[in-house]
Structure 1
Amino acid sequence: MSVGALIHDLRKARGWSQGRLATEINEAFGTNIDREYVSRWERSKVEPGSFYLRCLSAVLDVPLAVLESEMKRRTFLSDVAGTAIAPVVASDLLAAGFGARLRGGPTTDDWEAKLANYGTEYMSLGAADIQRRVSGELVIVQQQLEQPQLWSVGARLMTLYAKTFPGNDGSRAVNWYRLAAEAADRSGDDQTRVWVRGRAAIALGYEGASLGVADLLADQAMAISEKPSLGLLNAIMGKAHTAVLRGDHPTARRLLEDGRRIFDAAGSHEQTSDYAVPWWRMNVFISLLAARLGDERTAVEAQEAARRELPASLPRFATHLEMHRGLMLARSGDRAGGVKYARTALNALPPDKHSLTLRLLMAEVEAS
């Protein structure tokens, strides 16, 4: 995708005209561009320089590194290999990659079993452990991408890998989500295409990070298929969170009701996988959304419902619920009490169970 196409997609995701985008930049940065100038960017007649890339990053709420990466993009496989090599010893990755190429690598069934295992482990292991292991898997799977079905495997692995980086850290998480969406498209499997985008949208929306990208991916998922699925559910709930964080409470409430209907049709029986959305996890989504809305009754109902079914093996999610209560206190005016409540809940969880998302949630409570 060219940088012009990315600007076009992000602008459309916000529902803005080209003139509106020009106005937003002019008002924020004291410039004097017009609709035609934006049109020339989008048609790739001219490329925005570094100053205007910073302007676009700010008004479209997308990390600057994402726009810059489109200006100097490399091939898909080079991006995967180059980004994956950092967390793991290079020699180990090279050996794994060459070994997979020589031996043919795991079968599709083997990969599906690996994905199922990672989905379960993600719920309890730390991000660093998952990151190291999945980076090695990415180097192996890229050696097998002559098989179309393995693009789906690669897409889901990339989505998991992206979630080990905070969505507000700049390029890493967002770039991996975009790579995952591209890989899913190459798989030709609409279920994977929707799930990858939806999972990215709920991850970013829940974290309150890169809202423009979260909206864009959610809209893409919803456009691909309206069939009830976990991917569509994630997309709708992710978009609901971006709406409330922008102050659009009516849209957030409407999307919540849409999400409830999709959940009734597609909710999971599996309880302990990152690929699943059982009743308790749906209520974790609702709990934070309602806390952000200031809807105490709905939040408390969701928290109580989640606690009744939350597996004891997943204490991290019980901490999420307690921190949502801290957010509610802070938003109601008792900032000191809310911060203390949330901090106490976080400190009660063993440090090795902490997640990037919990730390971002603590920061949100402190900023309320």
Structure 2
Amino acid sequence: MELGELIRDLRKARGWSQGRLASAINAAHGTTLAREYVSNWERSKITPGAFYLAALSATLDVPPAVLESQVDRREFLTDVAGAAIAPVVASDLLSAGFAARLSGGPSADAWEAKLTRYGTEYMSLGAADIQRRVSAELVTVQQQLDNPRLWSVAARLMTLYAKTFPGSDGSKAVHWYRMAAKAADESGDDDARVWVRGRAAIALGYEGAALGVADVLADQAIAISDRPSLGLLNAIFGKAHAAAIRGDHATARKLLTDGRRVFDQAGSHEQTSDYAVPWWRINVFVSLLAARLGDEATAVAAQEAARTEIPSALPRFATHLEMHRGLMLARSGDVSGGTAYARTALDALPPEKHSLTLRLLMAEVEQSRGRVDQLRNP
């Protein structure tokens, strides 16, 4: 099947017009794509470049491997552990899954090594690339779930996979976070149970999406164990962001204090992993939280502290800090200036480094106009 035919069939499967597909890409990626470009893609007059392949991947819910593959792309898997996942070529995933079952698959130690690698790669790779890789791993690990330790592995992989969907989607990300929590429960490992729920809570709270779910998962993590840990730290900051967005500043400030106390006992020395929360990363959490609270002094102090320690290999997180400054400007009343500042910061980051979280943050800055108007005219 030609790429143009695939784009056309995926668009029609959603019941979308060419104009609707162009609009969806523009809304998600800040582009000005015209309907005529979609028509030219579908007629193979123009081949989408790397940026638009990634945009099509995210908008049509198809990993890049499917768009780039030259095999028959009509057959897709739609179920992993009973839940819909982004379509991936069926033959490849089925082969990997059965091979893992027949051979016994990687050992638990080998899976832990894979998790370590993915935790590091997540910090610099784009969401689409992580989604493509982790979806294949989930098919493999599900063949080995007669080992409780691998339920823990699966739970952490599911959590990472959920991060490749925007929390504002409302269904996919939340579904995977909830399923990851259940998988962690199957492992009997309280550390995994707390970490999975806490990581989901901070992801949703930071994104400002599905706040009720963020609260529930954070509360579950706190109830499982109040022992200082990275999972508990994430849960507390997830609740803090949810409270700040709702306007409950007193609760958010109390949770900020609690979170700092837990960080003093559980903060990590590892610098470049999604499974780590070092000093610079806690300051990224604080930077956005303080910006949402309107606490400019705390926000700027956190930004300066983080900026001195963020590894140079992680430019995406430096972009987060700049966009937090844009949010502060917008919330102080300079919506146009704040939006321009945040957009400049985002545009300076190569498109392949963009994350779904950054897109949601950009939308939050742009939507500040309505909030400022509301404050001025209660």
Shorter-chain TM-score category?
A: 0.7 to 0.9
Is residue 317 of structure 2 the alignment partner of residue 304 of structure 1? no
SS of residue in 2 equivalent to 1:168:
helix
> Distance between the aligned counterparts of 1:159 and 1:141, measured in 2?
14
CA distance in structure 2 between the partners assigned to 1:326 and 1:344 by the alignment: 10
SS at match of 2:269: coil
In structure 1, stretches of 5+ residues that fail to align are 1-76
Say what the alpha-carbon RMSD is for the aligned residues: 1.1
Q: Does the 8 Å contact 1:87/1:135 carry over to 2?
A: no
| Equivalent-residue separation in structure 2 for 1:166 and 1:80 (angstroms) | 21
**Shift of residue 87, structure 1, vs aligned partner:** 3.3
The 8 Å contact of residues 290 and 299 in structure 1, kept in 2 or not, is answered as yes
Work out the CA distance in 2 between the residues paired with 1:79 and 1:115: 19
Report the counterpart of residue 246 of structure 1 in structure 2.
246
How far apart, in 1, do the equivalents of 2:146 and 2:345 lie? Answer: 48
Aligned to 2:84: 83
Partner Cα separation in structure 1 for residue 170 and residue 191 of structure 2: 28
CA distance in 2, matches of 1:87, 1:308: 41
Rounded Cα–Cα distance in structure 2 between residues aligned with 1:330 and 1:308: 25
Letter in 1 for 2:280: W
Amino acid in the other structure paired with 2:262? I
- The match for 1:194 is 194
Contact 1:195 1:230 in 2 (8 A): yes
Give me the whole-angstrom Cα distance separating, in 1, the residues matched to 2:189 and 2:218: 17
**Are 1:322 and 2:313 matched, yes or no?**
no
- The code of the aligned residue for 1:83 comes to A
User: 1:71 maps to which residue?
Assistant: none
Pick 1 or 2: higher relative contact order, CA cutoff 8 A, min separation 6: 1
Say whether the 8 Å CA contact 1:236–1:258 is kept in structure 2: yes
List per-residue Cα deviations over 1:66-107 (Å, max 9, x = no partner): xxxxxxxxxxx96525523x3321111100111011000000
Query: In structure 1, what is the equivalent of residue 264 of structure 2?
Result: 264
Aligned position for 2:167: 167
**TM superposition shift of 1:181:** 0.1
Question: 1:33 aligns to what?
Answer: none
Q: Distance in 2 between matches of 1:78 and 1:337?
A: 45
Is residue 2:293 matched to residue 1:293? yes
Q: Corresponding residue for 1:273?
A: 273
Q: Give the 3-state SS of the residue equivalent to 1:149 in structure 2.
A: helix
* SS class of match (2:164): coil
Partner in structure 2 of residue 124 of structure 1: 124
Corresponding residue number in structure 2 for 1:355: 355
Number of residue pairs aligned between Structure 1 and Structure 2: 291
Deviation at 1:322, TM superposition (A): 0.2
TM-score (norm 2): 0.76
Alignment of 1:1-368 (within 5 A): 80=81, 82-84=83-85, 86-368=86-368
Could you tell me which amino acid in structure 2 is paired with residue 124 of structure 1?
S
**What is the CA–CA distance in structure 1 between the aligned matches of 2:259 and 2:206, rounded to whole Å?**
15
Query: Partners in 2 of 1:139 and 1:296 — Cα distance?
Result: 46
Equivalents in 2 of 1:358, 1:224: separation in Å?
31
**Corresponding letter in the other structure for 1:80:** A
Amino acid at match of 1:115: L
- Distance (whole Å) between structure 2 residues aligned to residue 355 and residue 157 of structure 1: 18
Deviation for aligned residue 1:170: 2.3
Separation (CA, whole Å) in 2 of partners of 1:133 and 1:317: 22
The aligned residue for residue 38 of structure 2 is none
Whether the 8 Å CA contact 2:207–2:361 is kept in 1: the answer is yes
Q: Deviations over 1:117-170 (max 9, x none)?
A: 000000000001010110010011110000111000000000000000000112
**C-alpha distance after superposition, 1:244-281 (max 9, x if no partner):** 00000000000000000000000010000000000000
Structure 2 residue runs of 5 or longer lacking an equivalent are 1-77, 369-378
Query: 1:134 touches 1:157 (CA, 8 Å); kept in 2?
Result: yes
